[in-house]
């Protein structure tokens, strides 16, 4: 159902003509934008243009192209040269715009495949298996070339109606496996336990196939953890595949023609790789009342142009257009690293703030994917459903939720003013989540990625069911968050969507730069030098 609720405070937001920018507002000339202080929505929003945003996007793509990762493909992944080059690009642009810029380093466990893993059958049925559609590599290292396949003991064929296979769970399941590739059925113990048992028996590789029960038949991936839950990198190559492929190999073996296969997987794992957050502060603004404006700068599995060069370009252009602004509240623009690996950069940043420094951060605005071709217009709301699970997976306390609705409804009001619908999504999975967990109100924007856009969203925004990224109708998951596709490039972004989403985010940013009802809640507002003369006690000039 549409989320077009207007709350009681929304009419007050339109108290001045500058607040509710009409849909027909024209872009300003570069000279006009460069020569004035863009401290209201009426000034700032028209200065956010497709050309400027797309130039940043082209720069990020060029950085990825010039800095291939360990797999040989264009990359801006965490811990790789393309990410550091992205950091330097943003930091240089922000210094030139007059911001105070610092780089915050942190370490993390880096891993990457070297080249492209391969898996093939030599005989009796020569065939090559395709990554993702036929198999997925496990966290492992090594080559098994022309080795015979042998099923592990405990395999249950045909499979039982419910999961029951203990294949490979005991060392006794691996008699006579020296020099062979172990074919192991998914089942009742950890994948790592199966792999360690096979390794100790002298196997040179492992193929783990899905068990074959309802819901356990397709190609899948698994983690390498031992019986105690400790992660490790297997010393022999490990492939995960479907029940059908596993069954075909099993049948060849039982027919007396054991399959001969080759499996090659190589990885780099570095537990102490360095990454950086880029932090840029406005010269003006009260340092005891900070509004963080963030996006994550890192990619995953390649160039990461939609996720999240788009959001990074959004806040970079806004910051440049606001370079002459003297806000009431200090603006702290942050490009976080490691979001794709579990919000590493934002978690590090928030957890390393002292209690007094954290207390000065009064709000967070997050831009995470802003150029999706088959888009939704998502506004972050702590009480909403997650983008992927479509359930409320985490609840935030009232002191976080209630003020978060203020920026949320600024976005709602803006989109309504330009004739666009919206839908609410939870901040879970975005860097805004780390701020809300720390007690800081937050909102933001996103346009969706991967599979699957729902019928409700099609009704609201047009487009098609399935893949958000425009490869529709399709439920293939898209280019983002899927390894070995390397297709989240510039062509995976819509410049028109990037533009109207960035304008909306600019509208939110400049309002929060002068906001007092949340950022100065319960305090007297003392206007710093440079605050617009008509600002008044609640910063009305910024409206």
Catalytic choice (80, 121, 339, 347): 339
Q: Quick one: 428 exposed, middle or buried, by C-beta within 10 A (0-12, 13-18, 19+)?
A: buried
Secondary structure string (H, E, C) spanning 120-147: EEEECCCEECCECCCEEECCECEEEEEE
**Catalytic (active site) residue 339:** yes
Alpha-helix runs per DSSP H in 148-229: 191-200
Please check whether residue 463 is in contact with residue 374, taking contact to mean a CB–CB distance below 8 angstroms.
yes
Q: Locate 103 and state its tokens.
A: 């780089």
Could you tell me the end-to-end alpha-carbon distance of the chain, in angstroms, rounded to an integer?
30
DSSP string, 328-386: SEEEEEEEES-GGGTSHHHHHHHHTS-HHHHHHEEEEEEE-----TT---EEE-TTS--
Long-range Cβ contacts of 32-39 (<8 Å, 24+ apart):
33/321, 36/324, 37/324, 37/325, 37/326, 38/321, 38/322, 38/324, 38/325, 38/510, 39/322, 39/325, 39/326, 39/327, 39/510, 39/513, 39/514, 39/532, 39/541, 39/542
* Whole-number Å distance between alpha carbons of 336 and 339: 7
Please check whether residue 400 is in contact with residue 382, taking contact to mean a CB–CB distance below 8 angstroms.
yes
What are the backbone dihedrals phi and psi of residue 541, each rounded to the nearest 5 degrees, phi first? -65, -25
Match 């499996």 to its residue by tokens. 263
**Residue 43 CB partners (closer than 8 Å, separation 6+):** 18, 28, 36, 37
Which residues are tagged catalytic?
A: 339
């Amino acid at each position: 159902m549409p989320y077009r609720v207007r709350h009681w405070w929304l009419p007050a937001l339109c108290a001045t003509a500058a607040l509710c920018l009409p849909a027909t507002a024209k872009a300003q000339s570069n000279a006009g934008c460069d020569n004035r202080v863009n401290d209201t929505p009426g000034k700032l929003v028209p200065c956010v243009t497709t050309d400027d945003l797309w130039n940043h996007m082209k720069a990020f793509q060029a950085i990825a192209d010039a800095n291939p990762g360990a797999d040989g493909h264009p990359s801006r992944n965490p811990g790789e040269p393309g990410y550091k080059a992205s950091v330097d690009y943003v930091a240089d642009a922000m210094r030139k715009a007059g911001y105070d810029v610092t780089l915050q380093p942190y370490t993390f466990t880096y891993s990457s495949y070297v080249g492209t893993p391969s898996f093939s059958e030599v005989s009796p049925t020569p065939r090559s298996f395709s990554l993702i559609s036929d198999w997925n590599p496990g966290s492992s290292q090594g080559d098994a070339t022309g080795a015979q396949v042998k099923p592990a003991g405990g395999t249950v064929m045909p499979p039982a109606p419910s999961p029951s296979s203990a294949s490979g769970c005991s060392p006794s399941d691996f008699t006579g496996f020296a020099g062979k590739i172990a074919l192991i059925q998914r089942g009742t113990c950890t994948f790592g336990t199966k792999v360690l048992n096979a390794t100790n028996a002298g196997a040179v590789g492992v193929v783990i196939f899905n068990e074959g029960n309802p819901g356990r038949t397709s190609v899948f991936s698994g983690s390498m953890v031992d019986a105690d839950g400790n992660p490790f990198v297997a010393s022999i190559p490990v492939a995960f595949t479907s029940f059908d492929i596993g069954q075909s190999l099993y049948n060849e073996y039982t027919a007396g023609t054991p399959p001969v296969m080759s499996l090659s997987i190589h990885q780099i794992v570095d537990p102490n790789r360095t990454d950086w957050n880029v932090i840029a502060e406005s010269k003006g603004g009260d340092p005891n009342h900070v509004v963080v404006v963030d996006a994550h700068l890192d990619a995953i599995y390649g160039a990461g142009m939609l996720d999240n060069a788009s959001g990074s370009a959004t806040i970079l252009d806004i910051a440049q257009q606001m370079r002459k602004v003297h806000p009431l509240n200090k603006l702290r623009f942050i490009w976080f690293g490691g979001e794709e690996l579990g919000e590493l950069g934002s978690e590090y940043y928030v957890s390393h703030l002292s209690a007094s420094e954290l207390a000065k951060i009064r709000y967070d605005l997050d831009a995470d994917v802003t150029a999706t071709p088959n888009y939704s217009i998502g506004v972050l709301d702590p009480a909403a459903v997650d983008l992927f699970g479509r359930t409320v997976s985490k609840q935030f306390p009232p002191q976080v939720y209630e003020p978060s609705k203020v920026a949320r409804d600024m976005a709602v009001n803006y989109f309504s003013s330009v004739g666009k619908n919206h839908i609410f999504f939870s901040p879970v999975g975005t860097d805004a989540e780390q701020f809300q967990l720390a007690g800081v109100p937050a909102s933001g924007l996103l346009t969706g990625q991967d599979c699957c856009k729902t019928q409700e969203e099609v009704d609201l925004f047009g487009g098609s069911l399935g893949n958000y990224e425009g490869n529709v109708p399709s439920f293939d998951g898209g280019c983002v968050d899927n390894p070995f596709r390397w297709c989240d490039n510039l062509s995976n972004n819509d410049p028109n969507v990037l533009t109207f989403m960035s304008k909306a985010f600019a509208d939110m940013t400049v309002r929060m730069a002068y906001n007092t009802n949340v950022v100065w809640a319960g305090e007297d507002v003392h206007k710093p030098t440079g605050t617009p003369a008509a600002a008044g006690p609640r910063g009305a000039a910024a409206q």
